[in-house]
Amino acid sequence: MIRPRLMIPGPIEFTDEVMAAMGQPTKSHVDPDFVAVFGQALRDLRKVFLAGDDYQPFILAGSGTLAMDSAIANLVEEGDGVLVVDTGYFSERMADICRRYGGRVDLLSAAPGDTITPEQVAERLNSRNYELVTVTHVDTSTGVLVDVEGVAKVAKEAGTLVVVDGVCATAGEEMRQAEWGVDVYLTASQKAIGTPPGLALLVVSPEALAKWRGRRTAVGSYYGDWGPWLPIMEAYEGLRAAYFATPAVNLVEALAVSLKQILDEGMEQVFARHRRISDAVKAGISALGLEQVPTDMRHAAHTLTCPRYPPGVDASFLKEVRKAGAILAGGLHPKIKTEYFRIGHMGAVNANDALAAVAAVEAGLRAVGYAVEPGVGLAAAQAVLTAA
């Protein structure tokens, strides 16, 4: 039996080379060979994020939620004003984390499927003072993309630090950390970065480090505090062994392989490939007669697609899709959870993956009795791929 493709919004399918790195014998975390690999991974992380040489990368054993927690724990103190750009489930999680560390949180919320514009952010920033603006680049629960470049611009004009949750965006959506003025960009390993789950990744600007160094109070998280971690990252990048907590050795080895693959392809090519694959999947979905959660394709993510179920179809159809060769995800946003499903297409995804996903959706729809013209979705997807 052929294994179905895993096409959820993370974890994703990983390359053979990445999995080979995961499977090699585990080294000591102070082994010179591992120290060299860790140091290279830190340097390459800056390059993937398009950050400056003076930006500090952190590679921590943990999930994307740890990356969010670490960013906020270090930058938010009691009473700090935080404006959370809210486009879904994970934006609201960020707000909860900010409250946990004493932030005075205001939500700037969009209805499910809508986005928040830089103009809306600028208007709110003009109404009161904030120390921090947080943005979810792509909210995995809605497939909505935020204009990070535009939001960061107005935030910097207001003198506010910018934290961007890039968990479902990094190495898929266009992101230029230094050029756009993003102070903390964070992600998890298991999405477009292309490494199995277990690493929290952050790259931090000099301005954010300065705010952290000027704190009035101790960081409330022991594990996530940049204080113990910063000398560790500096040591590994300087090819010196150091210890605070044991790194996830095999995951770091795999990350180094994945980052090299991304950089070998080139960031501009990576961004373009994700746009092309996304356009193909969305064209196929539209040709099948399915609407999508984002209310305008101009703010639809390129790392996943969120189709709405057609009349008479519900989440049970996903079982038929799996039989047809693709594993997809159900809805996540609490307000519309039963109304849609999600197709992930990020990381090492290629044209064949896109066509397989569309074909599996088409087969699943027919299996549950929803009439679709045979091949119409594939034809639409293929037209995009061949025109690119």
Q: Where are the alpha helices (DSSP H) in the chain?
A: 16-23, 32-49, 64-75, 89-100, 118-125, 148-157, 177-180, 206-213, 226-237, 249-265, 267-287, 317-323, 351-367, 376-387
Residue 388 has pLDDT above 90, yes or no: no
Which pLDDT value is given to residue 3?
87
| Of the candidates 111, 127, 124, the residue with the CA atom closest to the CA atom of residue 84 | 124
Rounded distance between C-alpha atoms, residue 178 and residue 46, angstroms:
10
Query: How many Å separate Cα 253 from the centre of its chain?
Result: 20
88: left (phi over 0), alpha (psi -120 to 50) or beta: left
pLDDT band at residue 272, thresholds of 50, 70 and 90? Answer: very high
Domain boundaries, the chain: 5-10+266-387, 16-265
Banded model confidence at residue 326, pLDDT cuts 50, 70, 90: very high
State mean pLDDT over 313-327.
97
Q: What is the DSSP letter of 339?
A: G
Residue 25 DSSP label: P
Choosing among 3.90.550.10, 1.10.1060.10, 3.40.50.12280, 3.90.1150.10, the CATH entry for 5-10+266-387 is 3.90.1150.10
pLDDT at residue 307, rounded to an integer: 98
* Percent of the chain whose predicted confidence (pLDDT) is above 70: 99
pLDDT for the residue numbered 2: 73
Task: Kindly state the average pLDDT of the residues 13-21.
Answer: 98
pLDDT tens for each residue of 92-132? 999 999 999 999 999 999 999 999 999 999 999 999 999 99
Q: Are 315 and 330 in contact (CB under 8 A)?
A: yes
Span 354-374, mean pLDDT? 96
Query: Which residues have C-beta within 8 Å of that of residue 200, sequence separation ≥ 6?
Result: 58, 59, 60, 61, 62, 63, 64, 65, 66, 67, 70, 186, 188, 189
Q: Is the peptide bond before 307 cis (omega within 30 degrees of 0)?
A: no
Chosen CATH of 16-265 out of 3.40.50.2300, 3.30.420.40, 3.40.640.10, 3.40.190.170 = 3.40.640.10
pLDDT level of residue 57 (50, 70, 90 thresholds): very high
Q: Whole-number mean pLDDT of the chain? A: 97
Which residues does 49 contact at the CB level (< 8 Å), separation at least 6?
55, 57, 170, 175, 177, 185, 203
User: Do the domains 5-10+266-387 and 16-265 sit in the same CATH topology, yes or no?
Assistant: no
The amino acid occupying position 72 is I
Is the pLDDT at 1 greater than 60, yes or no? no
Mean pLDDT of 364-386: 96
- pTM of the entire structure? 0.97
Distance CA 14, CA 199 (A): 15
